[in-house]
Chains A and B, each alone.
Chain A
Amino acid sequence: MKKLLAATAASALFAGVASADEVKIGVLLGFTGPIESLTGSMATAAEAAMKEVSDSGLFMGGSTVTSIRADSTCIDSAAATAAAEKLVTSDKVAGLVGADCSGVTGAVLSNVAVPNGIAMISPSATSPALSTAEDNGLFFRTAPSDAREGEIAGMIMAERGIKSAALTYSNSDYGKGLAEAIQKGFEAQGGTITINAAHEDGKADYSAEVAALAAAGGDILVVAGYVDQGGSGILRAAVDTGAFSLFELPGGMISDTLTQNVPEGLNGSFGQVPGNDSPGLKTLGDMSGGAFDVSSPYTPESYDAAALMLLAMAAANSTNSADYAPKIMDLANAPGEKIYPGELKKALEIINAGGDIDYVGGSAVELIGPGESAGNYREIEVKDNKIETVKYR
């Protein structure tokens, strides 16, 4: 017994000390479930960053990085927690890239990451609630909070001279959070939200909802919904009855199907969707070699999440979360040499020489506040029935 205790204490002491070794990273994404069409590309992008770091031979004295995938299911918190528990306790991963959807990410954070002291970087959880979650400094995300989209939406509307707006949202966690953020963002710019009403997705008829929105009035109608669900129904009913002629369309409404679902009446309407025009995105696309698709949502963010985690380990010269997690913010932000995708070897050289880097990556990462991406948005406007980019913010 004494020997066992001594061995445990010794291994605890030595854990986190660098030697040419194998470092395991858990990739916890919803490989089954509602976003299964996105996660293949996300995971491959994350693993591309790990391979780049391993191949450089400069990572923590020549250590290699191995990825271990696990299924978060996107919606089943219990399944995601069990998968994360397995990654942490039996596979002994040094950190988690994930989870993906906001609900399971919160569950994994509070049930697995915080109790076990494991850092996690989510590439895609956008709920504003995660900004204030209890994380002991272990949780980061390369995706922006929806609160940021609310601020951007408020700014765009104010710049276009909109004084009042009616607001309707899809009755879901996403829609509700975004609607609150937009109301806050618009009111901060001196605007007035005349009504903030939910709509249920998947109904045939939205004339009653639009009637209520029209009665409340406003210069424009903000539709914080899904383009393939009730959002388009609301738009059609509003256009048909002449209730509103201008619309503000958040990310969930921006898609090629928008102008198919609502073939007329949208000209002049505007909105914003996550996106950037940084050179990093193009570089990442060129180096993907078709293995992953950088235009797929959250794929560049996944590459960046894995890259940031590994660079932080290199900077701390430790795979212990408590050591490297505090480095993540420094590496992502100025000052320092700007690092784009494919330049991880250069980054490791600078870090090993004691220099400072500013990781930009594929999604123009800039971490703010509690360790989340500041967010880059593409402002769009519908012209001649086509979605056109106005500018990037």
Chain B
Amino acid sequence: MDFLNAIVALLNFVIIPAAAYGAQLALGALGATLVYGVLRFSNFALGDTMAFGTAITILGTWWLQSHGVSFGILPTALLALPFGIAVTAALALATDRVVYRYYRQVRAKPVIVVIASMGVMFVMSGITRFVIGVEEIRFVDGTKFVIEANSFKQATGLAEGLALRSTQLLTMVTAALVVAALFWFLNSTRTGKSMRAYSDNEDLALLSGINPERVVAITWIIASALAVIAGTLYGLDKAYKAFNYFSLLLPIFAAAVVGGLGNPLGAIAGGFLVAFSEVGVTYAWKKVAGYVMPEGLAPDGLLQILSTDYKFSVSFAILILVLLFKPTGIFKGKAV
């Protein structure tokens, strides 16, 4: 019984939240790694692209709701996603046209493009705040729980409750579907192959007749779609606030770098690694240890390695360790 309690507590407070968070990070990191792979720069505007796309999706959700449309037990926001993706992709393509294309033509150094992307970031965050404001917005509807803590306790007779929010389950399922579709696209379609070819060796790809502008445009569209999906899932699971997406930039890049920049598989592994480290390091293990350890040996302290205030420092630490000891990441990406 005690062992079961320990497992349930672990699931409830560590594994489920970290898995949902990891899936959100993985989607964001995929967007970062794709842009890095094809366009060869770290896109600092990613966080604010997520914020912008989510804002548009929220507007679409409100519009649908005002017309009495709902998605049954699922959040209405999922129906508004295509609209959010279309607008965000259009914005990304326009930005590429106005800003990045010039730097590609003059073959500017990556660091210059990175700084340009910071400028884009400021403009985008301004636009987002004009569109939807700075307040916290909760736009989730539909069924809230798949498993509810109190009814779980009553049903099983365990001391620990287990809660699984529908948004957490939805996040993991959607992430799995999107990742599967992306890999199929990259590995099996002609366009996907041309993207990988362009990413591996630009000059050779050009020689074999691949149209670079088309590859770039498709990359932006896919990266925008990933960003909007990740941003909307994050907003559904937690709450929407423009500034929070800016703070997501650090764990997302940590995930992409840990996995190996430019490597899609690495981005996914990196996302989960960062999420589980953040939650695991800041979790107080006292309760779980109390169930598992024999009587009398249960600890008095909290067994918390790091206070939750320092959650973001975990991403920093991972980033520094990887850059020091394995700059190419776990799954051989490009060295930074």
Q: Is A241 in the interface zone, CB < 8 Å from B? A: yes
Shortest beta-carbon distance from B283 to chain A in Å: 5
The complex places the Cα of A175 from the Cα of B278 at a distance, in Å, of 25
Q: Which residues does chain B contribute within 8 Å of A210, judged by CB atoms? A: 13
B244 near A241 (CB under 8 angstroms)?
no
- In the complex, residue of chain B having the shortest beta-carbon distance to the beta carbon of A228: B136
B308 near A199 (CB under 8 angstroms)?
yes
**Given A199-B308, A217-B287: A212 and B302 within 8 A (CB)?**
yes
Task: Kindly count the residue-residue contacts between A and B in the assembled complex, taking CB atoms under 8 Å apart.
Answer: 83
B282 near A208 (CB under 8 angstroms)?
yes
Report the interface size class on chain B: 35 or more
- In the complex, residue of chain B having the shortest beta-carbon distance to the beta carbon of A236: B239
**Given A241-B13, A242-B150: A202 and B243 within 8 A (CB)?**
yes
B286 near A241 (CB under 8 angstroms)?
no
Q: Is A195 in the interface zone, CB < 8 Å from B? A: yes
The complex places the Cα of A195 from the Cα of B21 at a distance, in Å, of 25
Q: Is B188 in the interface zone, CB < 8 Å from A? A: no
Q: Is A330 in the interface zone, CB < 8 Å from B? A: no
Which of A212, A214, A243 is within 8 Å of B308, CB to CB?
A212
Q: Is B279 in the interface zone, CB < 8 Å from A? A: yes
The complex places the Cα of A171 from the Cα of B310 at a distance, in Å, of 13
The complex places the Cα of A209 from the Cα of B150 at a distance, in Å, of 20
A240 near B279 (CB under 8 angstroms)?
no
In chain B, positions 156-182 with a C-beta closer than 8 Å to chain A are: 161-163, 165
**Given A208-B279, A215-B284: A202 and B13 within 8 A (CB)?**
no
B243 near A240 (CB under 8 angstroms)?
no
The complex places the Cα of A160 from the Cα of B200 at a distance, in Å, of 68
Q: Which residues does chain B contribute within 8 Å of A215, judged by CB atoms? A: 13, 283-288, 302-304
A197 near B149 (CB under 8 angstroms)?
no
Q: Is A216 in the interface zone, CB < 8 Å from B? A: yes
Q: Which residues does chain B contribute within 8 Å of A198, judged by CB atoms? A: 307, 309
A211 near B238 (CB under 8 angstroms)?
no
Q: Is A6 in the interface zone, CB < 8 Å from B? A: no
Q: Which residues does chain B contribute within 8 Å of A207, judged by CB atoms? A: 13, 17, 279
Q: Is B40 in the interface zone, CB < 8 Å from A? A: no
Q: Is A203 in the interface zone, CB < 8 Å from B? A: yes
Q: Is B12 in the interface zone, CB < 8 Å from A? A: yes
**Given A198-B309, A242-B161: A212 and B304 within 8 A (CB)?**
yes
The complex places the Cα of A59 from the Cα of B71 at a distance, in Å, of 72
The complex places the Cα of A199 from the Cα of B239 at a distance, in Å, of 17
The complex places the Cα of A199 from the Cα of B310 at a distance, in Å, of 11
Q: Is B320 in the interface zone, CB < 8 Å from A? A: no
Q: Is A22 in the interface zone, CB < 8 Å from B? A: no
- In the complex, residue of chain B having the shortest beta-carbon distance to the beta carbon of A205: B238
B302 near A216 (CB under 8 angstroms)?
yes
B284 near A212 (CB under 8 angstroms)?
yes
**Given A233-B239, A242-B153: A214 and B13 within 8 A (CB)?**
yes
Q: Which residues does chain A contribute within 8 Å of B302, judged by CB atoms? A: 195, 212, 215-216
Shortest beta-carbon distance from B93 to chain A in Å: 28
Q: Which residues does chain B contribute within 8 Å of A205, judged by CB atoms? A: 21, 238
Interface string of A157-182 (1 = CB under 8 A from B): 00000000000000100000000000
Interface string of A204-233 (1 = CB under 8 A from B): 110111111011110000000000000001
Shortest beta-carbon distance from B320 to chain A in Å: 21
A241 near B12 (CB under 8 angstroms)?
yes
Q: Is A200 in the interface zone, CB < 8 Å from B? A: yes
Q: Which residues does chain A contribute within 8 Å of B285, judged by CB atoms? A: 215
Which of A199, A233, A240 neighbours the largest number of chain B CB atoms within 10 Å of its CB? A240
B284 near A211 (CB under 8 angstroms)?
yes
Which of A171, A212, A240 neighbours the largest number of chain B CB atoms within 10 Å of its CB? A212
Interface string of B283-295 (1 = CB under 8 A from A): 1111110000000
- In the complex, residue of chain A having the shortest beta-carbon distance to the beta carbon of B244: A204
- In the complex, residue of chain A having the shortest beta-carbon distance to the beta carbon of B239: A204
What are 30 of the A-B contact pairs (CB < 8 Å)?
A171-B309, A195-B302, A197-B308, A204-B238, A204-B241, A205-B238, A207-B13, A207-B279, A208-B278, A209-B308, A211-B17, A211-B283, A212-B302, A212-B307, A212-B308, A215-B13, A215-B286, A215-B287, A215-B288, A215-B304, A216-B286, A216-B302, A217-B287, A240-B149, A241-B149, A242-B149, A242-B150, A242-B152, A242-B153, A245-B150
B residues near A (Cβ < 8 Å) are: 12-14, 17, 21, 145, 148-150, 152-153, 161-163, 165, 234, 238-239, 241, 243-244, 247, 278-279, 282-288, 302-304, 307-309, 311
Known: A207-B13, A211-B13, A211-B17. 14 other contacts (CB 8 A): A195-B302, A202-B243, A208-B282, A208-B283, A208-B308, A212-B282, A215-B283, A241-B149, A242-B12, A242-B148, A242-B149, A242-B150, A242-B153, A245-B150
A residues near B (Cβ < 8 Å) are: 171, 195, 197-200, 202-205, 207-212, 214-217, 233, 240-243, 245
The 8 closest A-B pairs by CB, nearest first: A242-B149, A242-B161, A215-B284, A211-B13, A204-B238, A204-B244, A215-B287, A212-B284
